[in-house]
Amino acid sequence: MSINTGAGTRIYIGPRLTADLPTDRAAALTLLSGLTYVEIGEVESIGDYGDTINDVTFAGLAQGRAKHLKGLADAGTSDLVVAFDSGDAGQLKLVEAFLDRSRFDYPIKVAYIDGETDYFAAKVMSNKKAGITVEGVLKRNVSLGINSEIYEVDAP
């Protein structure tokens, strides 16, 4: 596989989940890949996403050296910037997900130009209009709070 630019990458949002993702990785991936998604139109950028594991330290008296252990994994938040389109089905779904106060997440799918796909579950945490200038494109800034691992699927 060669390197690529982000051009051609697409992001989609699926229907609200009705339960937590299965803890088994294969079962979660089967569930996520079997859903019907709506493409989010006019996406300018997708922010960083992926796990960071907290550093848990222990300072033993006898050793006089800190030991590092892996703690909580956190995929964080990813910010989307989209050109505001009030008629785009994907953007409308983002607004719906933002207004949804249920405890359940929305599945997100990121499809790369080379055929690789990422899946994850998230809540839409912010929905702000931005970029309001005389010659600027009206934009929507959306923040996705990621509540699952990132399930990476290689190109077929």
Task: Give the CATH number for residue 103.
Answer: 4.10.410
**pLDDT, average across residues 101-126:** 96
| C-alpha to C-alpha distance for 93 and 116, rounded to whole angstroms | 24
Query: Is residue 57 a part of any domain in this protein?
Result: yes
Domains: count for the chain: 1
Query: Is residue 149 a part of any domain in this protein?
Result: yes
**Predicted confidence band at 109 (pLDDT cuts at 50, 70, 90)?**
very high
Task: Give Cα 91 distance to the centre of its chain.
Answer: 15
Query: Is residue 111 a part of any domain in this protein?
Result: yes
Query: Is residue 3 a part of any domain in this protein?
Result: no
**Predicted confidence band at 3 (pLDDT cuts at 50, 70, 90)?**
confident
Is residue 1 predicted with pLDDT exceeding 70?
no
The mean predicted confidence, pLDDT, of the chain is 95
Identity of the residue numbered 65? R
Q: Which domain holds residue 35?
A: 10-153
Query: Is residue 64 a part of any domain in this protein?
Result: yes
